[in-house]
Amino acid sequence: MQIPFKKPVYLAIIFFSTLWILSIWYGAYNALSPVNTWDPLTKTIWNQMADNIADLNTRVSTLVSSGSLWTSSGSDISYNAWNVWIGTSSPEKSLHIKTTAWNAELDIQTTTKDKWGIFQEWSTEDLKFWSNWSNTLILKKNGDAVINTVSVWLGSGSIYTNTRLGVSALASNTTGNQNTAVGYSTLTANTTGIYNSALGLAALGWNTTGSFNSAWWHTALQSNSSGNSNTGFGYQTLVGNTSGNYNVALGARALYHNNSDGNVAIGRDSLINNSSGDYNVANWFYSLYNNTLGNHNTSIGAYTLYNNSSGVGNTVLGYNTWRGIVTGSNNTIIWANVTGLDPDLSNTIIIADGAWVNRIHVNSSWNVWIGTASPSYKLHVSWTAAWTSWTNLSDQRYKKNIETIENPLDIISKLRWVTFDWRKDEFKNKNFTSWQKVWFIAQEVERVLPQAVTTDKEGYKWVEYANLTAVLVEAVKEQQKQIQELKKEIASLKQ
């Protein structure tokens, strides 16, 4: 008897003791009747079995032919000691899926939404999770992981003791260990380098064997291949370094072109053009900006030694100090805004103030001047000076053409002592004092005693007052002689 169908109908095939459920549909079924295990699997028999299946649910009981049993307990279904397998007859776990095709895959989908898939790739043996045909998670055979194309290595597999996070980070590593790479292409070329740290896009990207380097920020130490013990902190710091060692760069583009050893650059663009100069220190932005070959320079302050290219052994302290030097060497310049010096000035010491005034200056000829920018003597003090004692070299063994001064009284009598005020407003660079002075006039002294007067390179006259001492001594002696003679004459007149 045919009756209306009210239950879901399953189409199933038992093939070599395996139950295959092919489809579900609604239809009509015949009147129920007992089903025996030897009955053929006909439409009628299967329709009778369908009566035991609740609406939109599946329940498996005794098979209609000989073979292993499926049993149910609550919501669980088990087969052969609680193991379930597909594509294998030797299950090793509770659920074992196997295929002879390229990849074993399990797909999950809700209505028309994109599928999620889980599969083991045949070539790499990696377990991959994908959605919308793109891998979202890859669990690699060696224990590493890739999340949404971003690689994550946490001390496992071929990079034991290394940590990687980022696409292509540490991608070429072979035996390198104790490395940390975070960011796209960080340490991507590293093979055997050890104890490196890279954070930021392409930081230490081309490093292969270099070790003990630290690169933090975008492309820091990007070109380094074999350089060791470098530290680059900031955008494109040490980006051109390939084999330089023991460098420290802090600040955007510091030591950008460097490929030498032992340099320290702190501040944006400091030592940016240095290529082969060694053991330089540049502290603050744009310091030693154009240095390329210079060694052993120390530059502290913004723009200090800005144009130095090959100068060696300079020490400069103060904002904007000595921007004009190019090849000068072995100088010490202290304080701010010391400008206008010769580009090849060497072996000089200058202590200045913030108003471009050189307070103390020692040049390469051992001339020392204080308070003036135009010295005329070994020691030139343009102010009042005081000292407890002063000595002059006077050993006879150094002298020749020795002659006694003649007519010293006549010379002294022709000298004129005057009082005067300096024309300080007209000669501001001389730092003249404001109070009245008592001295000689150099031109007047020169007419009677030219040995006591010198002329500087600008044509101005100077009196060497020490030379007048000898004339005064001889004048006193001559005067004393005259006094003695007068005493004798007076004594003879009294008799």
* pLDDT one-digit tens code per residue, 385-409: 667 777 778 889 988 999 988 899 9
pLDDT at 160: 62
| Ramachandran angles phi, psi of 462, nearest 5° | -130, 140
- pLDDT higher than 70, residue 6: no
- Report which of 352, 267, 342 is spatially closest to residue 302, judged by C-alpha positions: 267
The alpha-helical segments, DSSP class H, found in 99-251 are none
User: What b/e sequence results for 26-48 when a residue is b if at least 16 CB atoms lie within 10 Å of its CB, and e otherwise?
Assistant: eeebeeeeebeeeeeeeeebbbb
User: What b/e sequence results for 265-289 when a residue is b if at least 16 CB atoms lie within 10 Å of its CB, and e otherwise?
Assistant: bbbbbbbbbbbebbbbbbbbbbbbb
DSSP-based three-state secondary structure for 469: helix
- Report which of 310, 300, 367, 309 is spatially closest to residue 334, judged by C-alpha positions: 300
Q: Point out which residues pair with 161 in neighbouring strands.
A: none
Contact 30, 47 (CB under 8 A): yes
- Highest mean pLDDT of the ranges 261-265, 354-358, 463-467: 261-265
pLDDT at 112: 78
Q: What is the pLDDT of residues 269-327, one digit of tens each?
A: 999 999 999 999 999 999 999 999 999 999 999 999 999 999 999 999 988 887 778 89
Tell me which residue has tokens 């004092």. Answer: 433
Give CB contacts under 8 A, 24+ apart, made by 293-301.
299/270, 301/336
Whole-number Å distance between alpha carbons of 336 and 271: 19
Mention every residue, 6+ apart, whose C-beta is less than 8 A from residue 322. Answer: 304, 305, 314, 316, 331, 333, 338, 339, 341
Q: Point out which residues pair with 72 in neighbouring strands.
A: 77
pLDDT at 180: 93
Q: What is the pTM of this model?
A: 0.61
- Report which of 76, 71, 93 is spatially closest to residue 84, judged by C-alpha positions: 93
Q: Confidence class of residue 109 from pLDDT cuts 50, 70 and 90? A: confident
